[in-house]
């Protein structure tokens, strides 16, 4: 078997090299991005795939080979890892928004059979709706609500955090904290 590279790394542009060097020295980038940038730079500097892997503390050069192939196709986007296995995300952004739309709507006793939303009642309403989600589980609803900033309150209702009703001279207004998402993360 020859040591010839099947898909050698293409020539890096100055801008690409600059970005890769910046990422490889970064203290705030995810570790996976830093390692991938260092591997690509090592190969660009003339190292073999195995040597590039050893520079970042890995043993095998095969993943570096796949990374180089991906970098040749996608460019700098290859530094960010893709979906890492497990089941593919089942619900799209539109379907997630559909769940949030239903959760934000106040329930009615006549139509929904409840005055406050629970996961089960949300699930029933979403499954029965014509534009609903017939196979959605309570666990998936819970995850979507948590990601959107909803929390289960002691009053046994779902409440969107970062929003509060404030009394003003002109009446009660809903105030939203613009930094709620940043504070949460």
pLDDT for 160-178, tens place per residue? 666 777 888 888 888 877 7
Tell me the average pLDDT across 27-39.
93
pTM recorded for the entire structure? 0.51
The pLDDT tens digits of the residues spanning 114-166 come to 888 888 989 999 999 888 889 999 999 988 888 888 877 666 566 666 677 78
Residue of 84 and 101 predicted with greater confidence: 101
The pLDDT score that the predictor gives to residue 158 is 64
The whole-angstrom separation of Cα 32 and Cα 38 is 10
The pLDDT value recorded for residue 155 is 60
Q: Spell out the domain ranges in the chain.
A: 14-79, 93-180
Residue 133 CA to residue 97 CA, distance in Å, equals 12
Mean pLDDT taken over the chain: 85
For the cut 60, the answer to whether the pLDDT of residue 185 exceeds it is no
Cα separation of 22 and 36, whole Å? 12
* Nearest residue to 39 via CA among 14, 13, 2, 71: 71
pLDDT (average), residues 79-96: 82
Name the β-bridge partners of 175: 164
Q: Are 49 and 64 in contact (CB under 8 A)?
A: yes
Q: How far is CA 37 from CA 45, 70, 92, 133, 177, in A?
A: 12, 13, 30, 41, 37
Give the Cα separation of 112 and 116 in Å (integer).
9
Give the pLDDT confidence score for residue 65 in this predicted structure: 92
Question: Are 155 and 118 spatial neighbours (Cβ–Cβ below 8 Å)?
Answer: no
Place of tokens 């910046």: 22
């Amino acid at each position: 078997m020859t040591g010839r590279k099947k898909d050698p790394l293409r020539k890096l542009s100055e801008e690409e090299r600059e970005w890769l060097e910046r990422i490889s020295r970064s203290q705030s980038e995810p570790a996976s991005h830093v390692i991938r940038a260092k591997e690509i730079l090592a190969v660009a500097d003339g190292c073999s795939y195995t040597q590039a892997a050893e520079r970042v503390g890995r043993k095998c050069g095969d993943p570096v080979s796949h990374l180089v192939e991906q970098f040749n196709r996608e460019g700098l986007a290859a530094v960010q890892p893709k979906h890492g296995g497990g089941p593919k995300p089942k619900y799209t952004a539109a379907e997630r928004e559909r769940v949030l739309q239903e959760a934000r709507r106040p329930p009615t006793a006549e139509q929904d059979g409840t005055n406050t939303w629970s996961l089960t009642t949300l699930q029933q309403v979403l499954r029965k709706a014509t534009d609903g989600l017939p196979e959605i589980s309570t666990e998936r609803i819970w995850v979507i609500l948590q990601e959107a900033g909803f929390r289960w309150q002691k009053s046994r209702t779902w409440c969107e955090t970062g929003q509060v009703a404030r009394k003003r001279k002109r009446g009660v207004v809903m105030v939203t904290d613009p930094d709620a998402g940043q504070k949460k993360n």
